[in-house]
Structure 1
Amino acid sequence: MPYPLDAAAVRAWCGLALEALGRERERIDAINVYPVADGDTGTNLYLTLESATRAVEAAFDGHASTGTAPRLADAIGAMAHGALIGARGNSGTIVAQLLRGMTEVLTAGDEPDRDARDDGPAEALRRALRRAAASTYEAVAHPVEGTVLTVATAAADAAERATGDAATVARAAHDGARTALKATPGQLAVLGRAGVVDAGGCGLVALLGALADALSGDVSAPVTVRADDPLPEAGGPEATGADGCAAPDGGGPAFEVIYLLEADDSAVARLRTRLDGLGDSLVVVGGDGLWNVHVHVDDAGAAVEAGIEAGRPYRIRITHFAGTPRTKEPEMAARAVVAVVPGPGLAGLCAEAGATTVSVRPGEPPASGELVQAIRQAHAREVMLLPNDTELRHTAAAAAEQARTEGVRVALIPTRSAVQGIAALAVHEPGRSFDEDVVAMTAAAGATRYAELAVAERQSWTMAGVCQAGDVLGLIDGDVAVIGADLTATATTVLDRMLSAGGEMVTLVLGADVPDTLGERLERHVRERHLAVDTVVYEGGQYAVPLLIGVE
């Protein structure tokens, strides 16, 4: 019996999609051959839908607490938002935009003052799928056919031809997507040579199958990931990115950069132009002030800086491709570093040193699954994991243990601050033995005292006395040691206390909102008061902590 297109159907869709992608994840990963053969499209789609599912469940829980039931607009809006903030990779980002396109129709319709329900559920779903397909083309800088974009368009075409209820329309869209998926090896030369279908399109077929199941109660057939039909002769269309983005054959940029961005539409338009000149595989999705940005570049720092100029980037993830040719299977590096960092400047700094980074905001710590995925993306047999935060030690330990079960040798370096992570990364040497590298990095981190300046949010007791809201707190090795009224004065006091026990090198990491002169003034203070101590200053870009200090 068909089910209505309502909030409960969206909830069921999320659950079924997550199950389907969980079953298909490894098979989809295995056919991810382009633009970077890093074998993570299935995993990225699963994590994207996992975030969407959590958001929908949170919406239901919120309404339950008030004794109300969510509407269709509440559920589909939560699904789209959850996918946006949790989108991974090209395919996950495009699927997030597809869901956003559906939401535009199912909540407000395509025309002003017109509700999607005015046409009935079946017609609303037809228009939603058409808007979803169109929106994916708008999000991709250089869309090409034979990718997930083609599969989405075929689904919309099939839905428009279908007659009957919403369940019938959904099943027609799924069937149309399956047919289009089988044709992708003949549209992309790289897929034809590998004898596989498009990985992103394969994930979309699973997603649409789950929608049809949620509305009809029937069970979809498994997704076919190998090409069933005879393949065309080699040398067909120009090779393109398997997730809808044009990409050059052969080598490609060294980094994948992904971040969420708070910015207005005009700033994002300028950002698209700048990032398009920096690299390829550019996808920017979102709206209403929140965007998900994905690009492949050689200069990760420049991509992050472009985001800073456009607005406030966060949840920055930078993955180093290690120069892997795009048309080959990924080569496992001997050893890699995965670092958690609190700001965009530090993310760029660590990425340029060869690390895969996970950037976080205060109050939004990464889950262990996010760290496991970063370890996978490092594509190395041995990984040094730098949590750079005392509060992340258990999460990082769980991620390391999970990665070990997958055959990766992981060492958890006990870094409690980003400045300790910088010190450990500076002595990292892949050429020596694993154990020697662990000892050297751990020793460098342990030899670095760390401090940070923060602003008190409320009156409270500390080890240095009672602080008031707005006071500047100087924390040394995690404990409040200084309470002051001025940022610079408090910082100099902290530096003097730390250097009273000796030191050779001071590292200063400046936050996003500190005065431009702070670094110069502190560097001059160290030079005048503490002879033979060198100082290095970095623009960290962290938002909640004005200053990080390291003393080696």
Structure 2
Amino acid sequence: MDGTALLRWGRVCLEDLGQRREEINALNVFPIADADTGTNMLATMRAAMQAADAAVVSAHSYRAPGSAVSAHDVAAAMARGATLGARGNSGIILSQVLRGIAEAVHGGPLTGRTLREALARASALVREGLSVPVEGTILTVLDCAAGCAAACSDPALAEVAVAAADGAAEALGATPAQLGVLRAAGVVDAGARGLVVLLDSLVSVTLGEAPTRPQYVRAETSGAVVPDATDPGPHFEVMYVLTDTDDQQVARLRAALAGLGDSVVVVGDGSGAWSTHVHCADAGAAVEAGLAAGTLSAVRIESFAITAQVGHTHADTTANADGAMQAAWRGVATDRGEPADRGVLAVASGAGAAALFEAAGAVVLDGDGPITGAALLSAIRRLPNREVLVLPNGALPAHDLLAVGVAARDAHRDVLLLPSGSMVQGLAALAVHDHGRIAVDDAFAMSEAAAATRWGSLRAAAGRALTMVGTCEPGDGLGLVGHDVVVIDRDVRTAGLTLLDRMLGFGGELVTLLMGRSTPVGLADALVAHITDGFPGIEVNVYSGGQQGDLVQIGVE
């Protein structure tokens, strides 16, 4: 199978998983009876195919017309897409099956020989990624598929695929005898059923006909499997993607997560990204463990209904958890009749900007150097307040902020990170901060003030670069609105005046100019004069920020 054939197999997998999704969901009782294994495997395979399709488009942009994309290119893209987009325990394990294929076809197409290698490699990767392997699950069935493929003496890919699929189906039927919770519920393992679907899809593509399998439905048992209301087990499923790490840190992370909960899986895509999964009671601690190991993204936290009635879904319990959090925020300080114990933490670059935030009552985290999630988390924890509002001011991307927020919250502290993308937005938010309001109202008012502030910046280009409005040269003046370059001019002063025209063209009542450390002499006066002359009636406030990088930060309210 070359790359084109692998793409065809992936699309057949999507179709077959879609048809079997509800069947697989209905079998799902382990490790959590949340009825979403089929949905998760389908979503993971969809992410794999989106990445593969994108890789093919990219490859065709520089390959000679008519040349075929390699099996490795397609399989590697599928493995990476599945790892980054994995949903649930079963989705992560599926990503390792695809990674096994990618590594096996590094030097050529998928053949009978390389399929044997792929399944053996996938089995080893899955066992390596699990903290506590459990037999009678997809793990056991993958082992059997790999063993049957290895025992097949026929060199043809189709025959090896049949051997693997039949071996997996036989092992699937034996899973209730290996795992008590499956036997009690009268089901086979849901994730293993999904694996059989994928292998049967491979048989369909290579042989031209799909194997016939029995209907896998819940057998009659003495009673339904109902979660024990007194069970102190995991409350949350936590997943995230980890990068900027190494094997040693991943091993430490896997051990740390095993100490927090169960169903721990930490697996890689082979090119530096790791997908992480755990069921635990302390979601914040699981995220914090990831922050200590590398850079997090795609953080997902879902609440399990440990004490809920059968039939509740992730969406039900997640909504309940969100409602409880909102109720906690609304209830803070309402019965005390006194200002809330609330602090504000702001990231600020430059001595002048830091002084502005401190004068307005915020505690400042120095942003002159690179800010990490761990540094922000540590600063939050140093605050003595019961409630903490955080103004990140553009210091970290959204996914890092989400991870920090989750890790910072616990039974003793409520933390809310506000959407301030720049220091001028942070100052606008802080101007309406009011300790006398309950936390949710204070945070809402501050968030509205930040969102209502259009912001931009004036910089000098450090080098030649391509922007959305053309190519800049070293020393050019760059005018940005948000993060996008909208003005390039050889003269920095002229770039600043043009930027003001662009920003004030939509109106405004107040302009804040935060001057940087390297602002040219006379630039502030020129900007103020331009506003006064061209936009009468607009109030202008000029402050010495002392920030690096931005010659001026501009806020328009």
Superposition TM-score, scaled by structure 2 size: 0.60
- 1:84 is aligned to 83
CA distance 1:442–1:77, shift in 2 (3 Å): same
Give the conservation status (yes or no) of the 8 Å contact 2:287–2:407: no
1:268 correspondence with 2:250: yes
Q: Does 2:79 align with 1:23?
A: no
CA 231–130 in structure 1, closer or farther in 2 if over 3 Å, else same: farther
Match of 2:263 in 1: 281
Q: CA contact under 8 A between 2:84 and 2:241: conserved in structure 1?
A: no
Letter in 2 for 1:281: S
Kindly tell me: are residues 447 and 56 of structure 1, through their superposed partners in 2, closer, same or farther at Cα, counting changes over 3 Å? closer
| Pairwise CA RMSD | 5.0
User: How far off its partner does 1:135 sit?
Assistant: 1.6
One-letter identity of the residue aligned with 2:244: E
Equivalent residues in 2 for 1:187-198, closer than 5 Å: 187-198=178-189
Query: Shift of residue 296 of structure 1?
Result: 2.2
CA deviation after TM superposition for structure 1 residue 281, in Å: 1.4
Query: Over alpha carbons, which structure has the higher Rg?
Result: 2
Instruction: Give deviations 1:498-544, integer Å, cap 9, x for gaps.
Output: xx99xxxxxxxxxxxxxxxxxxxx9xx9xxxxxxxxxxxxxxxxxxx
Letter matched to residue 10 of structure 2: C
Change (3 A) 1:203 1:453: farther
* Letter matched to residue 151 of structure 1: V
**1:107 aligned residue:** 106
Native 8 Å contact 1:174 1:205 kept in 2: yes
SS in 2 for 1:142: coil
Q: Are the equivalent residues in 2 in contact too, given 1:186–1:232 (CA < 8 A)? A: no
Give 1:349's match in structure 2, choosing from 383, 405, 408. 405
Structure 2 partner of 1:128? 118
Query: Are 1:303 and 2:286 counterparts?
Result: yes
Please state whether the residue corresponding to 1:107 is helix, strand or coil.
coil
Residue in 2 that maps onto 1:413: none
Q: Which of 61, 64, 74 is matched with 2:60 structurally?
A: 64
For the structure 1 residues 8 and 322, does the alpha-carbon distance in structure 2 shift closer, same or farther, using more than 3 Å as the test? closer
The answer to whether the Cα contact below 8 Å between 1:21 and 1:206 also exists between their aligned partners in 2 is yes
Closer, same or farther in 2 for the Cα pair 1:184/1:85, shift >3 Å?
same
Take 1:43 and 1:59, find their aligned partners in 2: how far apart are those partners? Answer: 24
> Cα gap change, 1:179/1:444 in structure 2, threshold over 3 Å: closer, same or farther?
farther
Greater Cα shift, 250-259 or 323-332: 323-332
> SS of the residue aligned with 2:134?
coil
Which letter maps to 2:267? V
Deviation at 1:25, TM superposition (A): 1.7
Q: Which residue of 1 aligns with 2:391?
A: none
Within 5 Å, which residues of 2 pair with 1:49-60?
A: 49-60=45-56
The residue that corresponds to 2:306 in the other structure is 324
The amino acid across from 2:405 in the alignment is L
* Structure 2 Cα separation of the partners of residues 73 and 107 of structure 1: 5
**Which consecutive unaligned segments of at least 5 residues does structure 2 have?**
326-396, 411-416, 466-471, 505-511, 525-538
The CA deviation at 1:18 is 0.6
Contact 2:235/2:281 (<8 A) preserved: yes
Q: CA deviation at 1:486?
A: 4.7
Measure the CA separation in 2 of the matches of 1:292 and 1:172.
30
Q: Percent identity?
A: 37
Secondary structure (helix, strand or coil) at the match of 1:295 reads strand
Q: Partners in 1 of 2:400 and 2:29 — Cα distance?
A: 29
Could you tell me which residue of structure 2 aligns to residue 509 of structure 1?
Answer: none
Q: CA deviation at 1:227?
A: 5.3
Separation of aligned partners in 2, 1:189 and 1:470: 72
Residues 468/42 of structure 1: CA separation in 2 closer, same or farther (3 Å cut): farther
TM-score, structure 1 as length reference: 0.60
Describe the shift of the 1:254–1:47 C-alpha distance in structure 2 as closer, same or farther (beyond 3 A): closer
C-alpha change, 1:125 and 1:298, in structure 2 (3 Å) is same
Question: 1:415-435: CA deviations, max 9, x gaps?
Answer: x99x99xx9xx9799xxxxxx
CA contact (8 A) 1:20 1:210 kept: yes
Equivalent pairs, count:
404
C-alpha separation in 2, matches of 1:139 and 1:273: 11
* Partners of 1:22 and 1:46 within 8 A in 2: yes
Counterpart residue number, 2:170? 179
Q: Which residue type is aligned with residue 276 of structure 2? A: V
| 1:223/1:453 CA distance change after superposition, 3 Å | farther
Q: Structure 1 residues 324 and 208 mapped into 2: Cα distance closer, same or farther (>3 Å)?
A: same
Q: Distance in 1 between matches of 2:216 and 2:515?
A: 62
Amino acid at match of 1:215: T
1:31 and 1:469 map into 2 onto residues whose CA distance is: 67
Q: 1:199/1:92 Cα in 2 relative to 1: closer, same or farther (>3 Å)? A: same
Seen in structure 2, the aligned counterparts of structure 1 residues 484 and 296 have a Cα distance that, compared at 3 Å, is: farther
Distance 1:77 1:189, change over 3 A: same
Distance 1:50 1:9 in 2: 17
| Matched-pair contact (CA < 8 Å) for 1:260–1:292 | yes
Aligned to 2:332: none
Kept in 2, the 8 Å contact 1:159–1:169? The answer is yes
Amino acid paired to 1:314: S
Provide the secondary structure at the position in 2 that maps to 1:69: coil
Aligned residues of 2:238 and 2:278 also touching (Cα < 8 A): yes
Counterpart-to-counterpart distance in 2, 1:182 and 1:81: 31
CA distance in 1, matches of 2:311, 2:275: 27
For 1:467 and 1:309, the matched residues in 2 are separated by 43
Deviations 1:42-67 (A, max 9, x none): 11111111111112222322333322
Summarize the Cα distance change of 1:84–1:465 in structure 2 as closer, same or farther, 3 Å threshold: closer
Distance 2:514 2:118 in 1: 56
| In structure 1, C-alpha distance between the alignment counterparts of 2:152 and 2:20, rounded to whole Å | 27
Q: Partner amino acid for 2:165?
A: H
Amino acid in structure 1 at the alignment position of 2:282: D
After superposition, the Cα gap between the structure-2 partners of 1:389 and 1:169, relative to the gap in structure 1 and judged at 3 Å, is farther
